[in-house]
């Protein structure tokens, strides 16, 4: 058990770059329980015939595996406690009614077809999707700009004022969106190909550049003290930053105002193919922390439960 613990700790340090005491303790405890059960079964089965003993061993092993998966599900469950904070979201992405097309009768017959990202956000926060900002934003509300259409001067002023009052803002500004257009190419109702937030970013002294020619694919970066691993696709880089801002992944993600303002050069991070687990019954096998990190940032804190330890990106 000590050798197993030492190997696990070495893997944490060499591959993830950090230690997770909870996971290490769980490995030691689970190993000790497994050895204890194995010894008890072996002692009790000494007098059994071989054709009975080995099926019994196999049955106990299968039970142990099933119990381990159930414990994984409980340990890595992103528990959301307390009140859900208010989030005001402006976006051009087809997150709501994503599969209905333009046929209103078909949309009503099929019912809501919310994409997984929107469903996850609505479980974590009190989400209000709007086309424009009417009235003054509540000071405790968070503004989420997920690749919106061109904002009016009225909206830009309100967002800037919200930041000036210390409000929380999260911006997904995609320099080259790869989101599949829900309508034929050229239809103005499709999401814009590139971010239209340049006036707001220029006012804040921030510049978003297009993805590098060799950076059109996926990028994995580690963000924040928790080591959240974000997986981005054809992400733009913030190449000009004011004082008080810190970039991650060579400017793919930016943190300003002590964490009150976050900017990500990619809106494709909401696509389920970049973060959702390939096995619905095993959500802890998620491909990245994209949605977990976003909901934690919108809520202003991390949730309980174990966090995956990702192999550190090389760049």
Q: What would the pLDDT profile of 159-176 be if each residue is shown by its tens digit?
A: 999 999 999 999 999 988
Q: How many structural domains compose the chain?
A: 2
Q: Which one has a higher pLDDT value, 136 or 146? A: 146
Within a domain: 157: yes
Containing domain of residue 262, as a range? 86-299
In terms of domains, do 166 and 234 share one?
yes
Distance from the first to the final alpha carbon of the chain = 34
- Among residues 69, 82, 21, 89, the alpha carbon closest in space to that of 277 is found at 69
The H or E element containing residue 12 is none
Gap between the Cα atoms of 80 and 275, Å rounded: 19
Can you say whether residue 269 is alpha, beta or left, with left for phi > 0 and alpha for psi between -120 and 50 degrees? alpha
Chain segment 81-138, per-residue pLDDT in tens: 778 899 999 999 999 865 545 555 655 665 567 899 999 999 999 999 999 998 778 8
Within a domain: 307: no
CATH of the domain at 116: 3.40.50
For the chain, the 3-state helix, strand and coil shares in percent, each to the nearest 5, are 40, 15, 45
Longest Cα–Cα distance in the chain:
83
Rounded average pLDDT over 268-280? 92
The pLDDT value recorded for residue 227 is 80
In terms of domains, do 113 and 224 share one?
yes
Q: Is residue 180 very low, low, confident or very high in pLDDT (cuts 50, 70, 90)?
A: confident
Q: Mark which of 31, 46, 75 sits at the end of a domain.
A: 75
Within a domain: 305: no
Query: Could you tell me how many residues make up the chain?
Result: 315
The pLDDT value recorded for residue 91 is 95
Question: Is residue 314 predicted with pLDDT exceeding 70?
Answer: no
In terms of domains, do 33 and 147 share one?
no
Within a domain: 244: yes
In terms of domains, do 203 and 54 share one?
no
Within a domain: 54: yes
């Amino acid at each position: 058990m000590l050798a197993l613990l030492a190997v696990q700790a070495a893997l944490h340090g060499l591959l993830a770059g950090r230690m997770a005491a909870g996971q290490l303790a769980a490995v030691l405890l689970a190993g000790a329980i497994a050895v204890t059960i194995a010894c008890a079964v072996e002692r009790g089965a000494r007098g059994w015939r071989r054709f009975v003993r080995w099926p019994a061993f196999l049955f106990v092993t299968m039970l142990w595996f099933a119990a381990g998966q159930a414990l994984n599900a409980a340990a890595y469950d992103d528990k959301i406690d307390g009140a859900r904070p208010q989030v005001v979201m402006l976006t051009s992405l087809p997150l709501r009614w994503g599969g209905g097309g333009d046929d209103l009768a078909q949309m009503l017959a099929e019912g809501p077809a919310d994409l997984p990202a929107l469903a996850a956000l609505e479980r974590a926060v009190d989400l209000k999707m709007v086309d424009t900002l009417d009235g003054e934003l509540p000071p405790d509300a968070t503004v989420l700009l997920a690749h919106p259409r061109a904002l009016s001067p009225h909206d830009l002023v309100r967002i800037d004022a919200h930041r000036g009052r210390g409000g929380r803002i999260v911006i997904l500004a995609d320099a080259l969106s790869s989101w599949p257009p829900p309508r034929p190419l050229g239809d103005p109702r499709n999401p814009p190909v590139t971010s239209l937030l340049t006036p707001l970013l220029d006012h804040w002294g921030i510049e978003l550049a297009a993805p590098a020619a060799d950076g059109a694919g996926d990028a994995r970066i580690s963000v924040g003290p928790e080591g959240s691993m974000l997986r981005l696709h054809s992400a733009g880089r913030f190449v000009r930053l004011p004082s008080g801002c810190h970039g991650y992944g060579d400017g793919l993600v930016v943190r300003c105002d002590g964490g009150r303002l976050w900017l990500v050069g990619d809106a494709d991070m909401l696509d389920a193919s970049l973060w959702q687990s390939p096995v619905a019954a095993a959500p802890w096998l998620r491909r990245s922390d994209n949605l977990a990190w976003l909901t934690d940032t919108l809520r202003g804190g991390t949730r309980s439960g174990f966090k995956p330890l990702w192999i550190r990106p090389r760049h």
